[in-house]
Structure 1
Amino acid sequence: MKAILMKEYGNEDVLFETEVELPAVGEEEVLVEVKAFSINHVDIVTREGDFKAFRPLTFPHLLGLDFVGVVKEVGALCQSIKIGDLVTGINYGGTYTEYITIAEQAVVKLIQDVNVKETAAFPVIAVTAWAAVMDHGLIKPNQKVLIHGGAGGVGHIAIQIAKQAGAYVYTTGAERNTAFLKKLGADEVINYATTDFTTVATDADVVIDTIGGDVQEKSFQSLKQGGRLISVVTKPSEELSEKYGVYSDFIRGNVSKETMIKLVNDLVAGRLTCHVEKEYPFSLDGVRKAQVELSQGHTRGKRIVII
């Protein structure tokens, strides 16, 4: 089967295409024929070596996390998933390949007429947005939340989750995305190119940071005393947290299977939407191009690869 692997840390040129053996299926695993997978920011920073100091890789390495595919084989102890089921999930063993093995308990069964493209783009950003807004942001009705980068992958899901929780939502974005962000439910869209967000979003209960850097540091000014700054990018400054009297944390989207099922059901039922900006073919050039274009920023929603 075809796989696109990385041979070492570096730019997109370290990716290469090769043939690998079909993976063996464990007793509690399923073999999935991948139909589509998404490109996430974590793929790029992993490839560039940002995590190598505390999570070194063994090469060659298979990147990728979320996917949609059809089950082709099930382990002897599997009970809830059958051959032919359409499934999605997050596979920490990688997805840039035609077939993957994954624990039965790590997949969510889908109805057969689901939008494969939207669903393949959804799991990672959905669990990250949920963890940021609900598990760590602790959003409550009528609170004010500022979500940076609202048109991005995590951002555009976070807006919807925050609105469903009853929050008043500010978000930063480009002028071209104003209508898109309003449709998602944002109450006020702040054009980051022309407006200082700290002059609009004041006394916020929660800030969701998807940008990092100077934007993260300035975000402390938008929070009320006792507010919460949750970043999905980098660890916020403890010094600034103490100075402004707020709670801050850097989080990843590790949530329960039950939460994943709830989020996927919300997507399938139309209570959440996932925007796919662009799709690419499953080829070395296609995957390289997808990573390069994602790294350039300003993506609305997600980028996916179709097999």
Structure 2
Amino acid sequence: MKAIALTSFGIPGTLEELEVPVPALTDTQVLVEMQASSINPADIQLRSGAILQSPMADKFPVQLPLILGIDVAGVVKEVGAKVSYFKPGDRVMGMVPMGSYMDYVAVEEDHLAVIPESLSFEEAGAAPTVALTAWQSLFEHGRLQPGQRILIQAGAGGVGHAAVQLAKQHGAYVIATAREHNHDFVKQLGADEVLDYTKVDFATQITEPVDLVLDSAKDTATFGTGLPGEIGEKNYSVIKDGGTYVSVVAFAIDQHPTVRGINTRFFQAIPNRSDFEAIVHHMQEGKLNIHIEETYPFTAEGLIQAYRKSEAQQKRGKVIISKNMR
């Protein structure tokens, strides 16, 4: 079967088409014929090799050639002996630890959810990682309540644009940061206020403290140390005493001294069918729309172009690859 693999670190031309065996299933896995997948920040950092020079390197023991990709949407072709929830022919979406850029992907049963005919594979392939991260950030770790105030950093990005919608649907007052050209986009998602962090000090613009900050903004200092950088320190300044700071970028935030009783948490999304089913329901009901900025074909050149687009600052939402794109 076809797979598209990283054969050397760096940018741009490091992805090649390879022939690899179809994965052998364990008893608890499902074989999915991939129809669509997407690009997430961890994929970009691995592709460039930057993550291997960071304190996170030990969490990514990699060997080339490396098949990237976390999200998958497609059709069930085969199920393991102990799989009871899915059957061949089911349309599904979900996540794998790594390696979705190939024709067939082995996925744990609990890391998938059935998708309705009303959702395209492209919509479903864009959703899993960013929607699950936003969902768990807000409701599991942030414990967001209706009427609370929340600051969402990088509101036009993958996680951010999903979080803006979910927080607003939940009855929160939503403040988001985004570049000026994305302000209308983020407001249409439901944000009550949008601040251009490149032109104003957002910390001085927020006059009433927020209950929760969700930070998915890129910060070079944070990536290098795992500790909150300049953006992170400003985040602390706008959170009320005893509030909550959830970061998906500051992996060492628990080592930061406690500030005014603020609860801090770094996490990475943990896939599970229950959360995925809730996300699918929200998408089906039109309460959550994952914005697809661009779609590229499932070829080596298509994936290279997709990564170039993902690495550009103009991107909104998600960039995906699809077998339906020629």
TM range (shorter): over 0.9
Matches within 5 A, 1:1-307: 1-47=1-47, 48=49, 49=52, 50=54, 51-201=56-206, 202-211=208-217, 212=219, 213-235=229-251, 237=253, 241-307=257-323
Q: Would you say the 8 A contact 1:123–1:264 is kept in 2?
A: no
**Distance in structure 2 (CA, Å) of the matches to 1:180 and 1:198:** 22
What is the CA deviation profile of residues 72-114 of structure 1, one whole-angstrom value per residue up to 9, with x for unaligned ones? Answer: 2223433321211111100124101111122233221122232
Q: Would you say the 8 A contact 1:87–1:108 is kept in 2?
A: yes
Q: Would you say the 8 A contact 1:131–1:255 is kept in 2?
A: no
Percent identity, aligned pairs only?
A: 38
What is the CA deviation profile of residues 242-283 of structure 1, one whole-angstrom value per residue up to 9, with x for unaligned ones? Answer: 244422221111153211111112112212111000111111
Question: Deviation at 1:296?
Answer: 2.9
Question: Deviation at 1:241?
Answer: 4.7
**Distance in structure 1 (CA, Å) of the matches to 2:308 and 2:293:** 14
State the aligned residue count: 307
What is the CA deviation profile of residues 145-172 of structure 1, one whole-angstrom value per residue up to 9, with x for unaligned ones? Answer: 1101101100011111211222111001
Structure 1 residues 103 and 255: alpha-carbon distance in aligned structure 2, compared to 1, 3 A threshold: closer
Question: Deviation at 1:3?
Answer: 0.6
**Distance in structure 2 (CA, Å) of the matches to 1:66 and 1:227:** 32
Q: Would you say the 8 A contact 2:310–2:319 is kept in 1?
A: yes
What is the CA deviation profile of residues 273-298 of structure 1, one whole-angstrom value per residue up to 9, with x for unaligned ones? Answer: 11000111111121122223212334
**Distance in structure 1 (CA, Å) of the matches to 2:203 and 2:149:** 13
Letter in 1 for 2:16: F
Q: State the SS of the aligned residue for 1:166.
A: coil
After superposing the two structures, state which structure 1 stretch, 25-34 or 95-104, moved more. Answer: 25-34
Structure 1 residues 21 and 176: alpha-carbon distance in aligned structure 2, compared to 1, 3 A threshold: same
**Distance in structure 1 (CA, Å) of the matches to 2:145 and 2:160:** 18
Task: For structure 2, list consecutive stretches of 5 or more residues without a partner in the other structure.
Answer: 220-228
Q: Would you say the 8 A contact 2:254–2:266 is kept in 1?
A: no
Q: State the SS of the aligned residue for 1:113.
A: coil
What is the CA deviation profile of residues 6-48 of structure 1, one whole-angstrom value per residue up to 9, with x for unaligned ones? Answer: 2354444332221112222333322211111011111112332
Q: Would you say the 8 A contact 1:220–1:241 is kept in 2?
A: no
**Distance in structure 2 (CA, Å) of the matches to 1:13 and 1:138:** 43
Structure 1 residues 250 and 14: alpha-carbon distance in aligned structure 2, compared to 1, 3 A threshold: same
Q: Would you say the 8 A contact 1:205–1:227 is kept in 2?
A: yes
After superposing the two structures, state which structure 1 stretch, 279-288 or 41-50, moved more. Answer: 41-50
> TM-score of the superposition, structure 1-length normalised?
0.92
**Distance in structure 2 (CA, Å) of the matches to 1:84 and 1:239:** 47
Letter in 1 for 2:63: T
Task: For structure 1, list consecutive stretches of 5 or more residues without a partner in the other structure.
Answer: none
